[in-house]
Amino acid sequence: MDKQEFYIGWQPKSPQSFTKHVRKVILALAIFVIGAGFLLARQQKKFSTASFEFGQLTEVKGIYQQFPVPSVKVATMRDAFGNSSYITIPLVGYGKSGAEGTIAALEKEKNTHLDKKEITIKGTLLYSDGKTLLQIDKNDDPLVSVGNAASLQLPSNTIKDLGMVDLTGEVIDPKCYFGVMKPGHGKPHRDCAIRCIAGGMSPVFYVRNEKGEHGYYLILDENGEKMNNALKNYVAEPVSLKAKAVQYDDWVVLYVNKNTIKRTGGLSWFKTDDISCRPAK
């Protein structure tokens, strides 16, 4: 009989052939674990840059506008001709509610209408991807001052009709997505966003292309009314829609026919080539 090496676990030293085999297996496993870890890390989404300044109140001065959504138009800089540029900061309420209730309570308390008036208001900032929002809470006594719109002259070219558009994307709620929930994706975001939109928060349509470029659009129905009830069943799902697009300063509003909203399935919305509002064919 051929002499073969044999190893039993209680022996103090293993045969040389067995030791070489074990070393090869351990080396192969080490290479596999390192490679798998690297590939898994590459597949992970980047950490969200969204921010929610929890516990910190910031005063914002600008012109309050009720339409298309409760927001404050803030002058950021003036050019050589003295013309101001603006950013629009949508307002959201505390918890899972829109800002309308808080604004209505403030108007009743101050016995005045805020629309188109210059105000100073304080709240908690949320921001991500170049968009800024402000959470207001009645308990924070948010309305600092009320003036008029005379000191901030609005430019005449801030509203632009972009025509009819076809877009594919995802319905999100701005509060969770822009900073309160990190990450603002997947099933946890869907569960939260449905409740936020049902609570009156203005829904946003999110579009992303293969280059990683993002587009965000406010959503209203064809008559300029809120359509939260019609959208809550489509939240955080890939959908396509047809709408009239109108640009208001740094936001585009989609006037959507609810009958054109359709689920696309899969992740086909990610393959949108263009995030701008080009006229529909």
Q: What is the pLDDT of residue 221?
A: 93
DSSP the chain: --------TTSSS--HHHHHHHHHHHHHHHHHHHHHHHHHHHHSPPPP--EE-TT--EEEEEEEE-SSSSEEEEEEEE-TTS-EEEEEEEEEESSS-BSHHHHHHHHHHHTS--TT-EEEEEEEEEEETTEEEEEE-GGG--EEEE--GGGSPPPTTSEEEEEEEEEEEEEE-HHIIIIISSS--HHHHHHHHHHHHHTTPPPEEEEE-TT--EEEEEEEETTS---HHHHGGGBTSEEEEEEEEEEETTEEEEEE-GGG-EE--TTGGGG-S--S-PPP-
Residues 266 and 170 in one domain: yes
Mean pLDDT of 162-168: 91
Residues 131 and 212 in one domain: no
Q: What is the span of the domain harbouring residue 75?
A: 51-151
Q: What is the pLDDT of residue 5?
A: 67
Mean pLDDT of 200-215: 83
pLDDT in tens, 50-85: 788 888 999 999 999 999 999 999 887 665 556 667
Residues 196 and 166 in one domain: yes
Q: What is the pLDDT of residue 152?
A: 52
Residues 60 and 143 in one domain: yes
Count the domains in the chain. Answer: 2
pLDDT in tens, 13-24: 777 777 788 888
Is 5 domain-assigned?
A: no
* Predicted TM-score (pTM) of this structure: 0.74
Given 123, 151, 179, the domain boundary residue is 151
Given 101, 129, 151, the domain boundary residue is 151
Residues 167 and 246 in one domain: yes
Is 19 domain-assigned?
A: no
Is 11 domain-assigned?
A: no
Residues 191 and 216 in one domain: yes
Residues 106 and 65 in one domain: yes
Residues 134 and 186 in one domain: no
Residues 140 and 181 in one domain: no
Mean pLDDT of 227-250: 89
Residues 200 and 250 in one domain: yes
Q: What is the CATH number of the domain that holds 132?
A: 2.40.50
Mean pLDDT of 179-205: 77
Q: What is the pLDDT of residue 233?
A: 85
Residues 114 and 130 in one domain: yes
